[in-house]
Amino acid sequence: MAISPKNRARALEIAKELNEINGGRYHDDGTPKTFDELEIETDELTDLLSSLALNQSAKELPNEERPIRCPQCKAVPKPHDPDDDEPMIIQTARGEAEWVNEGYFCRRCRRSFFPSAG
């Protein structure tokens, strides 16, 4: 994924905010943190952020501009029925991701599918 200059600039702003969340370069007593301490703090925070971002992406709902389509025949399925939903929790390299898979049924293929499952 290529990151645009605009998004790189935004990432730098976010990195500065994350440094503040981690408490910065120095301990409360004024002594500098070791690189190892900084790395551990940063790893913990980036793992949390990755997990939160995955959860947000998994919960993202389709919009009217791009309707849900059957992965097999590309037909638009019958309207979503909450009874078809499946709760999902998976362990990722960065932590747990949790969401509800919206289930759909394609009348043409006579099969259920879950768009977020790919």
Q: Mean pLDDT of residues grouped by 10 in the chain (118 residues)?
A: 90 91 91 92 88 76 71 86 79 76 86 72
Please check whether residue 75 lies inside any domain of the structure.
yes
User: Can you give the pLDDT at residue 65?
Assistant: 64
Please check whether residue 23 lies inside any domain of the structure.
no
User: Can you give the pLDDT at residue 116?
Assistant: 64
Q: Are 108 and 73 in contact (CB under 8 A)?
A: yes
**Helix axes of 35-59 and 5-21: crossing angle, nearest 10 degrees:** 120
Among 35, 117, 32, CA closest to 71: 117
Please check whether residue 7 lies inside any domain of the structure.
no
Domain count, the chain: 1
Please check whether residue 69 lies inside any domain of the structure.
yes
Please check whether residue 22 lies inside any domain of the structure.
no
Buried b / exposed e over 73-97, threshold 16 CB at 10 Å, is eeeebeebeeebeeeeeeeeebeeb
**Domain span including residue 69:** 34-117
